[in-house]
């Protein structure tokens, strides 16, 4: 299943929701990969770093694909 979270507005909670859904899916035992499409790639990377430093589980696998064409291609391959 591919779940896309997007919005035309900034600051509405996309990154927060994406990370929390990923954590919940991992806790439920579902193989999960979080793909950050934000070219500024700030909040998710920061949150994952903070969680890792704090030793929080589950660790969240995350990649950044901030080019739409490349994202479409890579997601297809994945």
Ligand X SMILES: Nc1ncnc2c1ncn2[C@@H]1O[C@H](COP(=O)(O)OP(=O)(O)OP(=O)(O)O)[C@@H](O)[C@H]1O
| Residues that bind ligand X in the complex, under the rule CB under 6 A | 10-16, 38, 43
Q: Is 35 in the site for Mg ion (CB under 5 A)?
A: no
SS3 label, residue 34? strand
Which of the listed partners (Mg ion, ligand X, none) does 11 bind, with a CB threshold of 5 to 8 Å by partner kind? ligand X
64 beta partners: 36
User: Least CB distance from residue 29 to Mg ion, whole Å?
Assistant: 26
**Residue of the chain from 3, 6, 12, 15 that contacts Mg ion (CB under 5 A):** 15
Based on CB atoms, which residue is closest to ligand X, 54 or 77?
54
Q: Cβ distance 65 to 75 under 8 Å? A: yes
Question: Nearest-CA neighbor of 62 among 76, 77, 49?
Answer: 49
């Amino acid at each position: 299943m591919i779940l896309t979270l997007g919005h035309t507005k900034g600051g509405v909670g996309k990154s927060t929701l994406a990370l929390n859904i990923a954590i919940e899916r991992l806790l439920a035992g579902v193989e999960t990969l979080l793909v950050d499409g934000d070219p500024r790639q700030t909040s998710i990377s920061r949150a994952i770093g903070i969680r890792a430093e704090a030793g929080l589980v589950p660790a969240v696998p995350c990649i950044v694909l901030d080019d739409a064409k490349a994202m479409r291609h890579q997601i297809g391959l994945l």
